[in-house]
Amino acid sequence: MLYRHFATQEEIDRAYDPMRGRDPVVLAKEWRERSEVSRGRHRVSLDLPYGPTLAERMDIFHADHPKAPVHVFYHGGYWRALSQREFSFIVDELINAGITVAVVNYALCPQVRFSELVRQSQAAIAHVYTHAAELGVDPEQLSISGHSAGGHLCAMLMATDWEGTFGLPNQLIHGALCISGLYDLRPFPWSWLQPKLQLSGRDVQEFSPLWLPCRVPAPIKLVAGEGESKEFERQMSRYAEYLSQQGQTVTQQLLSDVDHFSILEHYLNDGCFVEWIKGFHDL
């Protein structure tokens, strides 16, 4: 067997295919159009650098009042596609709730190694926390969320030794929402993604949140969609169990009537994601 009960690449590819019944070109075009509208609605600082490389940029959507809570969002794309610009549309209700939102861009595989992608995700949080005054946000009210690959990155941020690596408090994140995340990387070296990701055995071990201690003592919410493949639900449940064994405050939920992409609509139209994020900040 290559991974669990999967004997062939074709089986793994089917189990981890989020595009079932979807046209990726149409989907990305719709997200770009909706995001352009959202950027026109709010006061936004585009492409703010958070590190030295060209990819290390974020778009900051400012809430109306100073020292607002800040929420940092990481996009999906299986670590090898898309950018922050397709995902501006998730900010509207968060801004209306008085939360400033940072939508993060990061370099993609195979242009960089997987380790660099994780490092950039960490650097974005460190930048928001240490530059809170100039960004007009409260560093003591920082939360995160991410979708798909972004859900994995959020789990990696919760596993980061912030004190030992960055000299920052391990309590700097006050809540994490991981949406349709991947927490065990073992299937991907056997999948169609491997030529892009180029994961080594060491990468799988070092960057699978399922095998890492959770170092940030903050609540974690895990969600997946009923319309996704069962592997997304299984990974969610296995990671929730692992976090619970560590004494972490974790909840999981399988949302009905959504697939891997329509699940993002829960950021909008009184969706549950905004209520959960507000809960991280006692709003």
pLDDT at 60: 98
pLDDT above 90: percentage of residues in the chain: 95
- Distances from the Cα of 191 to the Cα of 77, 90, 175, 271, angstroms: 15, 30, 32, 33
The answer to whether 18 touches 228, Cβ cutoff 8 Å, is: yes
Nearest CA to 177 out of 145, 147, 152, 209 is that of: 145
Rounded Cα–Cα distance for residues 112 and 157 (Å): 19
3-state secondary structure labels for all residues of the chain: CCECCECCHHHHHHHCCCCCCCCHHHHHHHHHHHHHHHHHHCCEEEEEECCCCCCCEEEEECCCCCCEEEEEEECCCCCCCCCHHHHHHHHHHHHHCCCEEEEECCCCCCCCCHHHHHHHHHHHHHHHHHCHHHHCEEEEEEEEEEECHHHHHHHHHHCCCHHHHHCCCCCCCCCEEEECCCCCCCCHHHCCCHHHHCCCHHHHHHCCHHHCCCCCCCCEEEEEECCCCHHHHHHHHHHHHHHHHCCCCEEEEEECCCCCCHHHHHHCCCCHHHHHHHHHCCC
| pLDDT tens-digit map of 126-157 | 999 999 999 999 999 999 999 999 999 999 99
Which amino acid, 171? Q
| Token duo for residue 23 | 């046209």
| Token duo for residue 34 | 């909706």
Name the residue ranges covered by the structural domains of the chain. Answer: 21-227+240-280
pLDDT at 100: 98
Instruction: Using pLDDT thresholds of 50, 70 and 90, give the confidence band for residue 19.
Output: confident
The pLDDT of residue 21 is above 90: no
| Token duo for residue 78 | 């299986």
pLDDT at 270: 82
Task: Give CA torsion, residues 27, 70, 105, 61, to 10 deg.
Answer: 70
The pLDDT of residue 40 is above 90: yes
pTM, 2 dp: 0.98
| pLDDT tens-digit map of 51-85 | 999 999 999 999 998 899 999 999 999 999 999 99
| pLDDT tens-digit map of 240-251 | 999 999 999 999
3-state secondary structure labels for all residues of 139-179: EEEEEEEEECHHHHHHHHHHCCCHHHHHCCCCCCCCCEEEE
Count the Cβ atoms, other than its own, within 10 Å of residue 57: 20
Give the CATH number of domain 21-227+240-280.
Answer: 3.40.50.1820
Task: Give CA torsion, residues 87, 151, 200, 112, to 10 deg.
Answer: 30
pLDDT at 125: 98
pLDDT at 27: 93
| Token duo for residue 36 | 């352009």
